[in-house]
Amino acid sequence: MTDDPQRGRAQAQGVRNARELEGHLAWLDSFSGMALGVLSVASGIYTYLGVSSLLDDTGALSVFAALAYSIAVSVAIFVFWSYLLRLVPAVRTTGARIGLLLSMLLGSLAIVAMSSWLNAAALAGSAAVEQHLAETVQDYQGALERANEIAVAAQGLGRDVARVRQSFEALREQEATGNLSGVAGQGAVFRLLQQKSDELNGLEAQIASQQPLVDAAFAKGNEILSRMRGLTVEPGPIEARSVQFSEDAVALANIITQLRQLSVAPLVIRAAQDLSASVVLPQLDGTTATTRTSQQATIDAVLSALGQRAETLRLAAQMVQDMPAPAEITYTPISTADAVIRYARNFIPSWAGAIAIDLLPAVLVFIVAITQAAIRHGRDGVATEDTLTLAELRAAIIAIRDVEHALDRTEPQAPPPVEVKPVVRTGLSAVDSTRPAE
């Protein structure tokens, strides 16, 4: 015992605290293995569900493979954390602690890689696939609306074509009354204006004929979109819904392609180029040279105006043609495991639960290690004999007595003393003193 009473009381208090913690650890250790086994089995069950979702075949071999993998995961988790629960609290050197902690980190990463993501797939796989379907619907909706916007903008070119046509018809009426070239009637200038008015009228009719097709395609696309949205929230197995969703996605992609083809902007661009380039000049029919000169000057002015109007129409169509095209959307079916990885940010609680069920024993390792450190701290500087309890002291005394008793029984007995009689020597003869004299 120490000679300092205050230090002695502190050491005694530390020993009592250490004994109390040892008692708690002994009680907790009685069911820690069972708790670790339950966690391992639970992780194995969810791992089995996750692996089953990845296997295409549903036969007996696939079931056996998934079962074998899940059992291997359960055993690996149980053995790994059992090692750490025993070894990490027991080591005392800093190097050993760092080495075991690094091993625990590496093992935890391996557990997440082989089990946790499959657990997440089992917990939130269907919801993640539904999220994939919902985002795909949004992409298709954006592409459909963009294709329709371009088609509608192209249909708006019909008004520009009508405006140009009306301007040429007005010039034609002026030429008929003689207010344009000074020659009334349906002469060369009139026929040229009539020619271009007919071309623009045919283009306008062609543009107008596209409008019902655009409206029907957009309505059909919205109908398919509505059905696809229903599949994202419809109850039932996600696999069957994904198959129907894939079929609707193909149909909707065709509708989007059709809307892109219904855009008349390329047609208007070509028509605007032909409007000024392909001009069939009529023969001047003036009776006098002055009349023919006036007709030629009017035709040149009409051709100049025609070129300006054609360029304006081409620029308007080119603006529609240069509008960003809708994105190419292709629906790709996705498994539940891939879905929870791609949309992990939307399923953080599921990921947290999947990882926690595998890595929760790490908290137990730290708890036991801290408790063992506190026990060692309470016993530091205390002699061994000062840490003995009354029961331990009684047991030690009994053990010592047993040892002593055993030693007494095994010690060899000394032989009895031998009585020696004195001998009287007279002369050359030795005479026993006890022998009577003759």
Residues 334-375 pLDDT 10s: 888 788 888 888 888 888 888 888 898 999 999 888 888 887
Task: List Cα–Cα distances, 91 to 25, 87, 368, in angstroms.
Answer: 17, 6, 12
Q: How confident is the model at residue 421 (pLDDT cuts 50, 70, 90)?
A: low
| pLDDT-derived band at 321, boundaries 50, 70, 90 | confident
What is the arithmetic mean of pLDDT over 289-298? 63
Average predicted confidence (pLDDT) for the chain: 78
Instruction: Assign 436 a pLDDT band (cuts: 50, 70, 90).
Output: very low
Provide the pLDDT for residue 116. Answer: 87
The domain ranges of the chain are 5-126+346-384, 127-335, 385-411
Instruction: Answer whether 71's CB lies under 8 Å from 140's CB.
Output: no
What is the C-alpha separation between 51 and 65, in angstroms, rounded? 9
Q: Is the dihedral of CA 214, 217, 220, 226 positive or negative?
A: negative
Residue 177 to residue 185: CA distance in whole angstroms: 6
The structure's pTM equals 0.65
Judged on CB neighbours under 10 Å (0-12, 13-18, 19+), 410 is exposed
Q: Which of 27, 35, 21 is nearest to 361 (CA)?
A: 35
The HSE-up count of residue 270 (CA atoms within 13 Å, CB side) is: 4
Amino acid letter, residue 307? G
State the distance between the two ends of the chain, measured CA to CA, in whole angstroms.
Answer: 80
Take residue 81 and report the two structure tokens written for it.
């954390």
Cβ contacts of residue 100 below 8 Å, gap of 6+?
Answer: 84, 87, 88, 91
**Fold adopted by 127-335:** Ferritin (1.20.1260)
Nearest alpha-carbon partner for 53 in 244, 239, 331? 239
Angle between helix 157-176 and 265-277 (nearest 10): 30
Kindly give, in sequence order, each residue whose CB lies less than 8 Å from that of residue 335, ignoring residues fewer than 6 positions away: 53, 54, 121, 125, 129
Q: In whole angstroms, what is the distance from residue 225 CA to residue 152 CA?
A: 19
